[in-house]
Structure 1
């Protein structure tokens, strides 16, 4: 993806300056696993964060700390100083819960959601419930009254949380099928849950069909007429820092979404640094429209349809 890419020489220099972001007198402490099973995801988030930070021109120093196989309480005790203004991270769900128990006094922007919430801790994630809300709105606009669900065999567990959230939010009659119906009735729609190859093997109508962003792969065909909701930075070239990060480390679309997530994490952190007491903030982010109210973040992905002229925003 990344349409309309234009090289930005200024942004291509940013990673050469990363050594200056790890000074001992850190004002922003970023906690991410640099090793272990989550390291690859964390690496993309970190790169997106760094690139957005450098493009912003912000002067607050940033310090990255490896959290893998470390107790969060120990990490905080060792690295939080009198000059630390903001904590970003951690990434693992269990680490977020551990951070809650540690009760840091500083403002925190976590990069996942935990089991509880706290007044000074804001939880930011690429949550399934945000994807559900966006797709539900599209279905409402299309006046869908019944949803038929077809899943690629073997992926049922992968999509279970999404379906549960959709049932809870949409309030539509829903049937999970074993095979595609010969014909869709009026006001019926089909949700297809599976990979790109499987999706393109189906004989589909040209309307009232939906899928998830994980079925969209770079350079691979998308069924005509299908609708989905995804990270806008993959389809709009307005974020030069995203191109800079991708140019430094080309990755597949799942990790491109994490580059965008890291960039938005920096944008939120910058807003907190500039507006320490603000309770209501909003901006158009790389991962969607971001609304911040108190310690709550609502992310609204953008939705698209594949047309004969290509992928078009709804």
Structure 2
């Protein structure tokens, strides 16, 4: 059965008195990344041909084509990439790939993406407000409300409810559906009940099951990124480790680092972040010099390879990083830029011990990093809601942004400069139905996490 009244709903609703209305902002400019090759007409011709063919492909063949397109575009410097994108006519399949590459570098689009469906079900709603706010009329949220995954779903649910109750303008009727017995069945119940927009599901396999369904009569904002691309008119939003790897690569490339030593544990999440970071570096002309286990005692052999090390990427928890930093310094790598995944915060909290982490950059949520207009501080919310404490704060912020995306998707889709200042970062929508998230960046100073000034914008 649909669940419209949930535990902790009242707690989330209490936040409404201090929550403000949503706002939108345009993306800021980003300093130029490392220079790569200038435009080569034959490479662009090849990319255009591949993009035209890709629409007819699926599975591995489609993936190979798209990887080749990304490599060809990655060889272009920022100025050349922007010029190529601006020169492509409307309807040219390559434009969506070029535009996505621009977004990943923090660069503006010359025009909105070419889309088969840009309204995401908004055509039958009341007109949008001046800032683009145009929420659904009957919103369904698909989450695992019982079972093992309910623990992870609770902060997502409460973050969404907090943002929902904090909105002072018109709001939809909202109903929650438990996906424990199957996300596709939950989607069908939501559609049968008259929902005009669906947020969820959360599990990757469930997202694939829904997107493989074929015809989906009601637009979906999936809360994960699976193996199946969102069908036209549907969207995927994720806090995936792959996105963190891409963000780390772009962060380093923008600062001139091309040869990166990776120190990682064997956790699946960290392996995925490392793989995406390595791939993005390779696409942009950089490389991973070595992937070294976090149990390594002596890094001297990795500090003097044939290719010098420009930076170090730490895919480890903070408690592990504390033991690694002195070893890296002994090997002569202490003065290199150091970037980590968001797991750097795990196992920290004692300033006297964490001072050794000073200067390491890591991606963070805007809300926990420097606060977000209209949302009480993370400490304030955590004092009232257990589901917003500690590591759960990230999922709370994710749920907050899911509501905002549901209300602003049409705005993001129709504008070249469409963006949202979300709790998890700056949110933009690419031409393939994926939300691109630019995180805020933090570092340690005196053993305490602090915002890294303007790092989220390059």
| Superposition TM-score tier, normalisation by shorter sequence | 0.7 to 0.9
Q: Which moved more, 1:179-188 or 1:90-99?
A: 179-188
Equivalent residue pairs, number: 292
Q: Which residue, out of 175, 180, 184, partners 2:290? A: 175
Residue aligning to 1:193: 315
In the alignment, structure 1 residue 312 sits paired with structure 2 residue 312? no
**Higher strand residue share:** 1
Q: Write out per-residue CA displacement over residues 197-217 of structure 1, whole angstroms, 9 at most, x where no aligned residue.
A: 211123042542221111214
Q: Which of these residues, 6, 12, 15, is aligned with residue 14 of structure 2?
A: 12
Instruction: Give the corresponding residue for 2:163.
Output: 52
In structure 2, the partner of 1:23 is none
- Does residue 62 (structure 1) correspond to residue 64 (structure 2)? The answer is no
Q: Does 1:236 align with 2:376?
A: no
Which structure has more helix as a fraction of its residues? Answer: 2
> How far has the Cα of 1:79 moved from its partner?
2.8
Q: Report the equivalent of 1:109.
A: 221
**Distance in 1 between residues matched to 2:391 and 2:277, nearest whole Å:** 21
Q: Tell me which residue corresponds to 2:97.
A: none
The structure 1 residue matched to 2:232, chosen from 119, 123, 137, is: 119
Note the C-alpha offset of 1:67. Answer: 1.0
Contact 2:140 2:197 in 1 (8 A): yes
Equivalence map 1:9-48=2 (5 Å): 12=14, 14=16, 27-48=138-159
CA contact (8 A) 2:412 2:429 kept: no
Aligned-pair CA distance for 1:287: 0.8
C-alpha contact (below 8 Å) 2:139/2:195 kept by paired residues = yes
Where do 5+ consecutive residues of structure 1 fail to align?
1-8, 16-25
Q: Are residue 130 (structure 1) and residue 208 (structure 2) matched?
A: no
How many angstroms apart in 2 are the aligned matches of 1:47 and 1:253?
15
Distance in 2 (CA, whole Å) between partners of 1:41 and 1:246 is 16
2:342 to 213, 222, 228: 213
Bigger Rg, structure 1 or 2: 2
**8 A contact 2:15–2:162 mirrored in 1:** no
Matched residues in 1 for 2:349 and 2:13: separation?
26
Structure 1's 300 and 242: CA in aligned 2 closer, same or farther, altered over 3 A?
same
1:56 shift after superposition: 1.5
Q: Tell me the secondary structure at the aligned position of residue 157 of structure 2.
A: helix
- Equivalent in 166, 179, 183 of residue 277 of structure 2: 166
| Structure 1 counterpart of 2:121 | none
Q: Deviation digits for residues 144-191 of structure 1, max 9, x if unmatched? A: 232112234xx3544211111111101214212334424956653222
User: Quick one: which of 190, 195, 198 aligns to 1:84?
Assistant: 195
> CA, structure 1 residues 169+66, in 2 after alignment: closer, same or farther (shift >3 Å)?
same
Q: 1:95 to 1:242 in 2, by over 3 A?
A: farther
Q: What RMSD over aligned residues (CA atoms) do the two structures have, in Å?
A: 2.9
Secondary structure of the corresponding residue to residue 212 of structure 2:
helix
Counterpart for residue 392 of structure 2: 255
- Measure, in 2, the Cα distance between the counterparts of 1:291 and 1:142: 23
